[in-house]
Structure 1
């Protein structure tokens, strides 16, 4: 059984609430007692296809939506602000996806113990993907954001929540000047769920300003935060990690492509600088604030990887969200662009292309092991963009010997 096939993640608004409020769930809001432990939510856009599950209280709903995700463009920011204003005026009462729950011995009980204050929650689910999990905004009854909690609901998401807790512990001891990291408030097992709680960052308040130079400094600071070593890739732990990933991949074509890519690196006998990376440092996981960068979602943080992975990821991942014809050439384009993207970090162009190839093998292996293709995630079909890369390398090898 793969990591994504054991106990599935909640698939709808009601299923999610049932996992977080297991004591009793009223099927009809009108049948609820309305007592102090009663909780009422509204699922957006619908109960069956919920992306957000907000408190029905207009003021809390508006705050929860406002804090759910930092918009990365002006249109999404305007839309979020407008819908938040409508919710504050009570528009949530007109939506059909109403869910009533009993807060007795619920996830709120655990979170109140962690932050030592009464709490209410808003729930962010986002689009379907292999690593989809409830992300909770932990709010005071007055709407102050007290914490963020991530809930591991299956083996994959439980592992990611646990990994993020360990990453925050490591980073708390790192001498970071340009990078602001949440503080770990607790890691708990509650019923059959793993719950990781962290301090909130003032994400929304930073607006949409991007400072490429500052962002680059933060990425390189993360890369060196746990030290840097230089080794032949063939002797590195990263090489062994790639081998283990190949063994875990159940799709023979993907496993074969990654093995062929690794063989190209082994034949080149190149050395690489090994450090750390955030693992998913995209525009939606960071915000520039003065002379620092707020960075969240550390669940993919790891060490012993080639320096420069975060720089490549920030450039590459958006290219997977385009049309299929563009995605097919995205990997090969990254190889060509890598000397420029890694200038000042990896000086030799061939070394830069080696790092880019290792990055593509890393992200391809991650997508395959997590089962992203089954969720319909853009770019989740690894063969679509990795095969052209490996075929290109095979042709170059045949031509140049």
Structure 2
């Protein structure tokens, strides 16, 4: 077994306490020639050694719907892969082409619990995603007829359990929030499964009719999210945010990255900044749009009292690094500053001459998150803080001092 097959069998124990057994082809048959009663088979796709989704063998329609729901079709290669998988399942060839199986025995399963919670029978497909510290199963819930009911998330360790609980609280708060151009998922159920936190939310109408937001839509989203609480303009030194960030850095202990992060925070100018809410992980994977409306999900990092503009910087950084971290970060140092000078963010309180200060605070915050979550140990390419983030931060620290001096 490699690390991924170990993760897969451990995940099977969470979802199906009866456990799962990895194998090839169909399950062994009884003496009468029939499969073991109650045994179900799932396909790890593309393989058990590199699972990204887990699809039911016996439910072809659920599998094809899951491919469409889970595919990130942002490039031609991704669209072609999704099309090939869809055709393979729709034609019935997928079980012949994909030989790895996860065999699940009889017994009470997460499907039973979800069906009881939602008062309807549901079948599931599971999104696993690439290795990272906050990787957790996301379950697509479908009726037997193939209609999408919603999505469920389950915590599998301390970090992911905390994030599931955080998203539950966020969705409860967003129920009554005023977001004129943004639709968020509704919370359908909160509970536990197998001793772990469970949330169920409805499915947003995201698909062929939606696309990535335009730059203007994105900034309108950022401004509307920031206004989830009244925006306050404060000197950085007097803001609760700075005190909280300093505490989070101190909680890192004696890691080698702690001292430079603390030093950079201490040396930033005492700029007046607007503080409001941020989504915390606004990327192309968590937002889609029509010409008139944006749909935003994955609210597990929602936080308040944060410098306005963080969401725009986070989205832009993740876009810039798609084709390489180092050239992407170099580009972001320029494009991120231009975003903060946009009239929409200026109207929200981001003052001229504070762009580098906001960008430096964002990188300090991001580095602190990565280190607390141990993202580098989980294999995230962006989490190598000393490789790209600390050098970028050093340059921003100098730029911030110059900007404040020039603006004054």
| TM-score, scaled to structure 1 | 0.89
Cα drift, residue 39 of structure 1: 2.5
> In the alignment, is residue 351 of structure 1 matched against residue 354 of structure 2?
yes
Measure, in 1, the Cα distance between the counterparts of 2:287 and 2:157: 26
Correspondent of 1:240 among 239, 243, 249: 243
Partner Cα separation in structure 1 for residue 219 and residue 37 of structure 2: 49
In structure 2, the CA distance between the partners of 1:47 and 1:31, relative to structure 1 (3 Å rule), is farther
Aligned to 1:226: 229
Distance 1:87 1:318 in 2: 32
Q: Name the counterpart of 2:114.
A: 111
Question: 2:192 corresponds to which residue?
Answer: 189
Alignment of 1:1-400 (within 5 A): 11-25=6-20, 29-31=27-29, 37-57=38-58, 58-94=60-96, 95-102=98-105, 104-250=107-253, 252-265=255-268, 268-326=269-327, 329=330, 332-333=333-334, 336-337=337-338, 339-340=340-341, 342-392=345-395
**Alpha-carbon shift at residue 37 of structure 1 (Å):** 4.5
**Alignment partner of 1:185: what SS?**
strand
Name stretches of at least 5 consecutive residues in structure 1 with no aligned partner.
1-7
Q: Secondary structure at the match of 1:30?
A: coil
Secondary structure of 1:206's aligned partner: coil
Unaligned residue ranges in structure 2 (runs of 5+): none
CA contact (8 A) 1:122 1:137 kept: yes
How much does 1:80 deviate? 0.9
CA distance 1:13–1:394, change in 2 (3 Å) = closer
Going from structure 1 to structure 2, the CA distance change for 1:347 and 1:215 (only over 3 Å counts) comes to closer
**Counterparts in 2 of 1:9 and 1:219: CA distance versus 1, 3 Å:** farther
1:59 aligned counterpart, secondary structure: helix
Q: Distance in 2 between matches of 1:257 and 1:10?
A: 38
TM-superposition CA deviations, 1:293-338 (whole Å, max 9, x none)? 0111111111110111111111112334443542563664466545
156-165 vs 319-328, which deviates more?
Answer: 319-328
Q: Is the 8 A contact 1:338 1:356 kept in 2?
A: no
Structure 1 distance, partners of 2:112, 2:85, is 29
Helix, strand or coil for the counterpart of 1:386? helix
Contact 2:354 2:400 in 1 (8 A): no
CA–CA distance in structure 2, aligned partners of residues 234 and 250 of structure 1:
23
Distance 1:101 1:251 in 2: 45
Give the C-alpha shift of residue 387 in structure 1: 2.1
Pair 1:371–1:331, CA change in 2 (3 A): farther
Question: How many positions carry a matched residue from both structures?
Answer: 392
Q: Which moved more, 1:339-348 or 1:187-196?
A: 339-348
RMSD: 2.7
Displacement of 1:68 in angstroms is 1.4
CA contact (8 A) 1:330 1:385 kept: no
Are the counterparts in 1 of residues 4 and 50 from structure 2 also a CA contact under 8 Å? no
